[in-house]
C-alpha cells in the first residue's frame, strides 16, 4: 500500500513542498512559492551585509505549497489520498535566527516592529555581525578554545550568537523585546506542531551544534559566564535557551488540527525535528562514509559523515564537526563555499552582460566553447567571503588577467572555475585530515541544470562528478526524516540506513574528468592557491609578479 511523506524545503528565495512515495523515494508532486517580502524574498538595505526575511513568508509558504502539492498529487496520481501521508520533515537555511516573544511568536508579527529589519529573521547570508563574530572568536580563543575547535577555529558572522549580539548592540529595543531567539529550522516545525512556546520547543542538534557551539560535552550551549562576558544580557539569554538538542530521527511534535485544516493533511502525523537544508540534502543524496555530498545552490554545502565511534581530528577551517547533525550515530562534517550560484547570479543580474541576452544559458553555452586557460583569466570565488577553509567573511572577489578583448563568457567561465577551485580546496582539506573522499555526489539546481559547471568541476578536481537522482535532495531528505519519524509500523522506516537504501539513488549520467583539461587546471589551481594564500592568509607572503605572465603563457598554450 502506498504511503507518502512530505518534505518542506525553505530556501533563500522560496519554499518547496514535495510529496514522496515512501517505498522508492519517487517524487509524486511538488509545489513552490516565492516569498512575498523584499527582493526575491530577501529584505535588503544599502548595507551589503544585511539580508533578512519576514517570518510570515514561512507560514504562508507552508500553507500554500502543501495545499498545492496535495492538489497536484491528486490530479496526477490516481488513487492518491492525503490521508496516506504519514510524516513531515522540514529543512531550512541557517543559521537564520529569529527573535520571538514569550509565546514563541516572532516580534515581526507585532505592529510595533512590522518594519524593523532587526525584528525579522536574520538570513544565513546576513553578515552585519562581522565585528561581533570577531569579538566572540577572540573571547573564545582566550577562555574557551574548545568551543572553536568544533567549528573551524573561527566563529562566523553568519552564525546565531554573532547576529544576536549585533542586534543587542545596534537595535537594543528589539533585543530587549525578544524573550529568546529561535532558528527557523526549529521554529517552523514548532509552529506546525503547536510547540513553539520557548519552554516546550524542540531544537535540532544540526543548527545548535554547527552554528551555536552547542555540544553535550560542555553541557549544551556556551556557558552563561562566557556569554555574560560578551554582554550581561547575553548571559541572561542563556537561561532561556533550551538544554537539550535532538536529531532529525526524533519528532518535534504532531501536526495540529489547525494546520491539518489549513493544509488538508491528516492531523496528528509526526513532524521531524528540523535541520538545515544541506544536512537533509546530504541525507536525500544518500550520504554515507566516503561520500562527499555537494549541495550546490546560491552557496554550497559540502557534507560528509564519519562514524561517531572512531576518533576524528579537529579539521581547521571546517564549519562544524557535530555528532548526529546529519545522521544519528555519525559525526556530521560541514564545509562549504559562501557563494557559488550567487556569484553567477551576481554577474548575470547585477552586471547584466549583453543586457537581456546575457542569460545563464547563453553565457554557459558560450563559455563551454572555451578551453581551460584560454581566456587568461583567473578569479577568486570570494564575492561573499570564504567559509571553508579560510572562515573569513571580509574577503571579497578578485578577477585578474583582463585584456581589452575579454568577453562576458570568458568572465563567466572564470567565475565557474573559481568556484571549482574553491571546491577542490575543500576536498583537499578533508583528505589532509584523514577523511577520505571516495565519491562526490552533487545535487541542487546548478548540478542538475548546468553541465558546464559539472564538467569544469570534474576537470578541476580530477574526479568523476555524480548527480543525485532526485532534483530536490534537500526536500527529499526532509521527507525521509518524515518517513523515519513516522516509523516502520505506520509504513515508514525504522532508521535512516533502511530509508537511504529504499529512497535514494544516483543518476546514470556521470561527468568524468578530461585528462588534458585537468592538466591545465592543475597549473591554474597552483596560481589560484597563490592568490588564495596571498590575500587570504594573515602571514601569506609571495612574489606575485609572475602570476599575470603565467596566465598569459597558459592562455597562449591553450589557444594553440
* Contacts with a second copy, residue ranges (CB under 8 A): 44, 46-48, 339, 342-343, 345-346, 350-358, 376, 382-384, 394-408, 411, 534-545, 547-549, 551-552, 559
State the nearest-atom distance from the C-beta of 436 to a second copy, in Å: 31
The conformation of residue 349, written as its DSSP 8-state character, comes to: I
With respect to a second copy, which residue has the nearer C-beta, 57 or 374? Answer: 374
Nearest to residue 186, comparing CAs of 250, 258, 275, 105?
275
Q: How far apart are CA 446 and CA 455, in angstroms?
A: 12
Tell me whether residue 357 or residue 510 sits nearer to a second copy (CB atom): 357
Our CB check for a second copy shows the closer of 312 and 399 to be 399
Nearer to a second copy, 142 or 350 (CB): 350
Distance of alpha carbon 182 from alpha carbon 402, whole angstroms: 46
C-beta closer to a second copy: residue 65 or 383: 383
Q: Report, in Å, the least distance between residue 17 CB and a second copy.
A: 28
Maximum CA extent, the chain: 69
| Spatial distance between the Cα atoms of 140 and 148, rounded to a whole number of angstroms | 7
Residue 520 grid coordinates: 591545465
Instruction: Give 259 or 382: the residue with its C-beta nearer to a second copy.
Output: 382
397's CB contacts (< 8 A; 6+ apart) are 343, 379, 380, 381, 382, 383
In the complex with a second copy, the residue whose CB is nearer, 103 or 539, is 539
User: Scanning the structure block, which residue is given the C-alpha cell 548592540?
Assistant: 169
Nearest distance, CB of residue 46 and a second copy, angstroms: 7
Q: How far is the CB of 420 from a second copy (least distance, A)?
A: 18
Cβ 522 vs Cβ 461: under 8 Å: no
In sequence order, what E strands does 22-123 have?
27-34, 52-53, 85-92, 97-100, 121-122
User: Taking the complex as a whole, how short is the minimal distance between the CB of residue 544 and a second copy, in angstroms?
Assistant: 5
Q: How far is the CB of 296 from a second copy (least distance, A)?
A: 16
Please report how close the Cβ of residue 401 comes to a second copy at its closest, in angstroms. Answer: 5
Nearest-angstrom CA–CA distance, 327 and 272: 13
Query: Nearer Cβ to a second copy, position 133 or 435?
Result: 133
The residue whose grid cell reads 523515519 is: 484
Q: Which residues contact 385 (CB under 8 A, 6 or more apart)?
A: 127, 338, 339, 392, 393, 394, 395, 396
d(CA 556, CA 335): 36
Cβ-based nearer residue to a second copy, 217 or 543: 543
CB of 308 to a second copy, least distance (A): 36
- Output the smallest distance, CB 447 to a second copy, in A: 20
Determine the Cα–Cα distance for residues 381 and 419; give it in Å rounded to an integer: 5
Contact in structure between 150 and 314 (CB atoms under 8 Å): yes
Phi-psi sector, 239: left (phi>0), alpha (psi -120 to 50), beta? alpha
Amino acid at each position: 500500500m502506498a504511503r507518502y511523506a512530505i518534505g518542506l524545503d525553505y530556501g533563500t528565495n522560496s519554499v518547496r513542498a514535495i510529496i514522496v512515495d515512501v517505498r522508492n523515494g519517487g517524487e509524486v508532486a511538488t509545489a513552490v512559492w516565492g516569498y512575498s517580502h523584499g527582493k526575491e524574498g530577501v529584505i535588503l538595505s544599502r548595507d551589503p551585509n544585511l539580508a533578512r526575511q519576514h517570518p510570515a513568508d514561512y507560514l504562508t509558504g507552508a500553507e500554500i505549497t502543501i495545499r498545492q502539492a496535495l492538489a497536484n498529487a491528486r490530479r496526477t496520481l490516481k488513487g492518491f489520498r492525503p490521508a496516506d501521508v504519514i510524516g513531515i520533515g522540514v529543512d531550512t537555511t541557517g543559521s537564520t535566527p529569529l527573535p520571538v516573544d514569550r509565546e514563541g511568536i516572532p516580534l515581526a508579527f507585532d505592529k510595533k516592529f512590522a518594519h524593523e529589519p532587526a525584528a525579522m529573521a536574520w538570513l544565513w547570508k546576513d553578515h552585519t555581525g562581522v565585528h561581533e563574530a570577531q569579538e566572540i572568536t577572540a573571547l573564545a580563543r582566550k577562555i574557551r578554545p574548545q568551543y572553536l575547535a568544533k567549528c573551524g577555529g573561527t566563529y562566523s558572522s553568519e552564525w546565531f550568537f554573532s547576529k544576536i549580539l549585533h542586534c543587542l548592540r545596534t537595535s537594543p529595543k528589539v533585543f530587549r523585546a525578544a524573550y529568546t531567539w529561535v532558528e527557523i529550522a526549529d521554529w517552523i516545525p514548532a509552529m506546525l506542531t503547536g510547540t513553539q512556546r520557548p519552554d516546550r520547543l524542540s531544537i535540532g542538534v544540526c543548527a545548535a551544534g554547527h552554528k551555536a557551539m552547542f555540544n553535550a560535552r560542555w553541557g549544551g550551549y556556551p556557558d552563561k559566564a562566557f556569554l555574560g562576558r560578551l554582554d550581561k544580557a547575553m548571559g541572561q539569554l542563556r537561561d532561556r535557551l533550551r538544554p537539550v538538542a535532538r536529531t532529525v530521527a526524533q519528532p518535534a511534535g504532531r501536526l495540529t488540527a489547525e494546520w491539518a485544516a489549513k493544509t488538508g493533511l491528516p492531523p496528528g502525523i509526526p513532524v521531524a525535528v528540523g535541520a538545515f537544508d544541506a544536512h537533509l540534502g546530504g541525507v536525500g543524496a544518500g550520504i554515507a562514509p566516503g561520500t562527499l555530498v555537494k549541495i550546490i545552490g546560491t552557496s554550497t554545502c559540502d557534507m560528509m559523515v564519519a562514524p561517531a565511534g572512531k576518533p576524528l581530528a579537529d579539521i581547521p577551517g571546517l564549519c562544524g564537526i557535530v555528532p548526529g547533525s546529519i545522521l544519528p550515530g555519525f559525526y556530521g562534517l560541514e564545509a562549504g563555499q559562501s557563494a557559488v550560484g550567487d556569484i553567477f547570479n551576481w554577474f548575470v543580474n547585477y552586471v547584466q552582460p549583453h543586457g537581456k541576452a546575457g542569460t545563464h544559458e547563453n553565457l554557459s553555452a558560450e563559455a563551454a566553447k572555451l578551453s581551460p586557460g584560454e581566456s587568461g583569466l583567473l578569479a577568486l570565488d570570494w564575492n561573499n567571503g570564504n567559509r571553508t577553509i579560510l572562515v573569513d567573511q571580509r574577503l571579497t572577489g578578485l578577477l585578474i588577467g583582463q585584456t581589452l578583448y575579454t568577453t562576458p563568457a570568458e568572465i563567466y567561465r572564470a567565475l565557474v572555475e573559481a568556484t571549482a577551485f574553491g571546491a577542490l580546496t575543500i576536498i583537499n582539506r578533508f583528505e589532509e585530515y584523514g577523511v577520505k573522499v571516495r565519491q562526490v555526489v552533487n545535487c541542487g539546481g546548478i548540478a542538475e541544470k548546468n553541465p558546464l559547471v559539472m564538467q569544469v568541476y570534474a576537470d578541476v578536481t580530477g574526479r568523476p562528478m555524480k548527480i543525485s537522482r532526485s532534483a530536490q535532495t534537500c526536500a527529499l531528505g526532509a521527507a525521509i526524516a518524515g518517513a523515519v519519524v513516522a516509523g516502520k509500523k505506520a509504513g515508514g522506516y525504522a532508521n535512516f540506513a533502511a530509508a537511504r537504501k529504499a529512497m535514494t539513488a544516483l543518476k546514470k549520467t556521470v561527468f568524468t574528468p578530461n585528462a588534458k583539461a585537468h592538466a591545465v587546471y592543475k597549473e591554474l589551481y597552483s596560481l589560484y592557491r597563490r592568490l588564495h594564500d596571498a590575500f587570504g592568509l594573515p602571514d601569506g607572503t609571495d612574489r606575485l609578479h609572475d602570476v599575470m605572465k603565467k596566465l598569459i603563457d597558459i592562455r597562449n598554450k591553450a589557444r594553440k
